[in-house]
């Protein structure tokens, strides 16, 4: 019963609005909240479920849901996460036993670097899953990063195309420019930069063999293979000089101890009049360790940077920050679309994997959406250069370039092989 009491005390501190009812495996009913909406009821199942949750809630919550030992009996999983996170302010001191978080924080500070071997293994864990799985919920361009909702809503495909357009505009690509994409995904952005932004040569590097094969097929299918090439390569091994460098959704896998190596590599690879755009998930609060469930099951080696973690490494590399934009809630809306698409085709995912995997994926998409809605998680777009006279002195060029890119997209629509 001691764990029931500890859980009840923690819930009373964390859940301030809405209504939460938790039934422990012993049958005790715990209540928290102010009686308002949403109303959520969950049940813990199996011997030791409450103890497991109390001892390490950051890890156990997802594991219990995956194993069918945490059942949502009223409301939805998203509403349950809302009750837990909307007033928590990401304060780990509110956990039932904060000592676990303290020990995890110490371990995070002592952790080693993500060398090339470990980085490849971490990437393979997530990105070398079946491409069919990603086709269940991604847009037609297979963009697996934050979309850009120009008008606050709209179809996912439109928002992902707008993201490509927004990034290309900030890169300020000149006709014939060479572009390096660090972490090239399934190749959609590289193809966009060559087809619409005027890039003369695009080199995409990835550590995922599954994505590499798909990217190369895309370049051939689009008739761009001579100009758009992809390699299985770590950024530390890349050679050459590039007019433009872009990295979208990759920096989260670098790790704080390798930030100097990352930005030094970018400085080494960038032309004197070069421009770089770094698009990364980050946090607006203080530095801290990644959610342990996400790190164990979804993104091993992952870390969400704060500005204070990135800036010293950028400054020491010799690069200068020329623009910063913080995308708020765009990723929450992206994840909502992904979650709804995945759940609508959950039966197809079951044929690929199993029930536990599908519950894991649902929890992953839901937890990440909740973090972007109610915690301090955002997306940073940081523009970098070597000189301060390469880009226009006002941001008007971004909108102007987006308009030109939109016109290029419309002109190509009748012949685009999409």
Residue closest to 52 by CA, chosen among 117, 104, 4, 106: 4
Going by C-beta distance under 8 Å and a sequence separation of 6 or more, which residues neighbour residue 293?
58, 59, 61, 62, 63, 363, 367
What secondary structure letter does DSSP report for 98?
T
* Residue 196: both structure tokens together: 């619409």
Q: What is the C-alpha separation between 277 and 198, in angstroms, rounded?
A: 17
What secondary structure letter does DSSP report for 38?
P
Peptide bond just before 38 cis, omega within 30 deg = yes
User: Which residue carries 């044929």 as its tokens?
Assistant: 351
Q: What is the C-alpha separation between 256 and 253, in angstroms, rounded?
A: 9
Residues 38, 79: contact at Cβ < 8 Å?
yes
Residue 311 zone, left/alpha/beta (φ > 0; ψ -120 to 50; rest): alpha
SS3 (DSSP) at 188: helix
Alpha carbons within 13 angstroms on the beta-carbon side of residue 42 total 26
Q: At CA 12, angle to CA 11 and CA 13, rounded to 5?
A: 90
Residues designated catalytic: 368
Q: What is the C-alpha separation between 232 and 239, in angstroms, rounded?
A: 13
User: Which residue carries 């927004």 as its tokens?
Assistant: 166
Q: What is the C-alpha separation between 188 and 245, in angstroms, rounded?
A: 15
Residues 62, 44: contact at Cβ < 8 Å?
no
Q: What is the C-alpha separation between 257 and 260, in angstroms, rounded?
A: 7
């Amino acid at each position: 019963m001691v764990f029931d009491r500890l859980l009840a005390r923690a819930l009373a501190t964390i859940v301030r609005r809405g209504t939460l009812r938790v039934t422990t495996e012993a049958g005790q009913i715990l209540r928290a909240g102010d009686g308002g909406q949403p109303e959520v009821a969950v049940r813990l199942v199996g011997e030791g479920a409450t103890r497991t949750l109390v001892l390490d809630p950051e890890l156990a919550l997802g594991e219990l849901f995956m194993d069918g030992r945490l059942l949502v009996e009223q409301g939805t999983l998203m509403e349950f996460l809302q009750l837990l996170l909307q007033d928590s302010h990401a304060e780990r001191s509110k956990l039932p036993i904060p000592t676990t978080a303290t020990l995890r924080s110490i371990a995070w500070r002592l952790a080693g670097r993500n060398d090339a071997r470990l980085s490849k293994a971490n990437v393979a864990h997530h990105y070398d899953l079946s491409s069919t799985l990603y086709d269940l919920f991604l847009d037609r361009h297979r963009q697996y990063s934050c979309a850009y909702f120009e008008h606050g809503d709209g179809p996912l495909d439109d928002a992902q195309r707008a993201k490509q357009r927004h990034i290309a505009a900030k890169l300020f690509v000149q006709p014939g420019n060479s572009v390096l994409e660090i972490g090239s995904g399934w190749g959609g952005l590289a193809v966009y930069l060559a087809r619409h932004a005027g890039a003369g040569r695009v080199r995409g590097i990835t550590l995922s063999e599954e994505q590499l094969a798909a990217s190369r097929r895309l370049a051939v299918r689009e008739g761009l293979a001579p100009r758009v090439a992809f390699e299985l390569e770590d950024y530390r091994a890349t050679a050459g000089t590039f007019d433009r460098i872009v990295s979208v959704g990759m920096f989260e896998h670098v790790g704080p101890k390798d930030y100097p190596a990352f930005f030094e590599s970018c400085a080494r690879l960038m032309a004197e009049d070069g421009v770089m755009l770094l698009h990364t998930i980050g946090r607006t609060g203080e530095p801290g360790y990644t959610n342990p469930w996400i790190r164990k099951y979804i993104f091993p080696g992952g870390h969400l940077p704060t500005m204070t973690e990135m800036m010293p490494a950028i400054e020491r590399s010799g690069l200068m920050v020329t623009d910063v934009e913080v995308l708020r809630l765009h990723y929450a809306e992206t994840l909502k679309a992904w979650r709804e698409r995945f759940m609508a085709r959950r039966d197809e995912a079951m044929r690929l994997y199993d029930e536990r995997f599908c519950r894991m994926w649902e929890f992953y998409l839901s937890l990440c959406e909740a973090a972007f809605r109610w915690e301090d998680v955002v997306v940073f777009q940081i523009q970098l250069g070597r000189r301060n006279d390469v880009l226009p002195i006002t941001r008007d060029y971004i909108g102007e370039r987006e308009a030109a890119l939109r016109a290029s997209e419309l002109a190509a629509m009748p012949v685009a092989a999409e």
